[in-house]
Structure 1
Amino acid sequence: MTTRSLFVTKVYEADLSEKVSLETLAHSIRTLAQDDQAGRRWSRECGYTGYTSYASLNDLPKRDPAFADLTRLVKPHVARFAKECAFALERPLRLDSLWVNQLPLKGHHRAHIHPHSVVSGTFYVEIPKGSGGICFEDPRLPALMAAPPRENGAPEGLRTIVSLEPRAGLLLLWESWLRHEVLAGSGRGDRLSVSFNFA
């Protein structure tokens, strides 16, 4: 008898904490959160609890050497992930966008995808105790119809929702179509992260 695992969804993890200055990145994110009036306005108007530069600044690697250094560190991981996914690429994936996030622990970012890109990811800079996880949703969920729920403690690969706990220095990569959500946490402080898309 054989049981096959089909239609695998991959999420890539790497620890970059010893290769990047988390303090420098944290300072840069906090400075942007204070100075970027357009980003603060967009965050407020769109119901983003904290601050994001997603819709306001598109040149962070040129603007700040800390983000240029992070981009250089992330690129080989993106190439490795693309190879693990067996992508038939005509050219290497390139950074399409990079933005920063400063989210209070009680804030959350509802489920979403990243259209028009191939690989998306987040690098966690500062994660206070009690921070909420990032949840990934089984892409087949709308088609499961009458499928019974999974048992408590089911293996990770069989769950319909998988939550990963962030930590400072953690790099996560996934295919951009994978729906994900940032959960609210408890306690005090801000979660600082850098997110990006490669296309």
Structure 2
Amino acid sequence: MRHVSSFDFGLTGFAERFHQDWRHDGSAEDLLATLLGPETDPRVVWELRCDAMSMRSGLTGEEIETLWVAGTGGTFWFGPDGVWQSGPGWLDTIVDRCDRWLRIHGAPEPEPEAGPQLADRVAAEITSMTASVPERLDPGHVVADALLRCVRVSPDLAFRWSLRIARERGWPLERSQYERLVALGEQFQYGEFIVSDAKHLTE
């Protein structure tokens, strides 16, 4: 289930669609519907659902919103004037749409979650990655704290969020840090570009 694409997948892969000009492609639900097309690989839908369920069941509303807003570069925010009323509500919508799709098209054979034994390594790398982040790039360290909380829920998802957010916010990486991230990505059996897309942060 980790080899559908060489690129990011699940909730973090979906977050990538909310780039600066995403509204030209329709509403948030339109982007979700596009992802959940009739020809979509069932494994893609399953990964998205699993990620959304993990966050919904294991994180607070504030933590969910913190990671999603940071991971979409601030183009998708919550509240009365936001794209969606709340983070938990958005994840509920994603899970509901995935469940509908899977009932119609069929679900893949479930596999064990990747890398629960890597939780300590993921937490250590997130701590290392965020330790030197200037206050202006993570005011109050709320993103760093949410990432570490996410490790308890899913080390795999927390690691992918850390990579996505580092790219979105321009968090600098030391060469040695990047090499450790590459090795960790290999442990998770990620596709070619999930970690390497962050290589420019070492320059």
User: Please, what TM-score do these two structures have when normalized by structure 2?
Assistant: 0.23
Higher Cα radius of gyration: 1
Q: Determine which structure has the larger strand proportion and give its number.
A: 1
More helix by share: 2
Higher relative contact order (CA 8 A, sep 6+): 1
TM-score (norm 1): 0.24
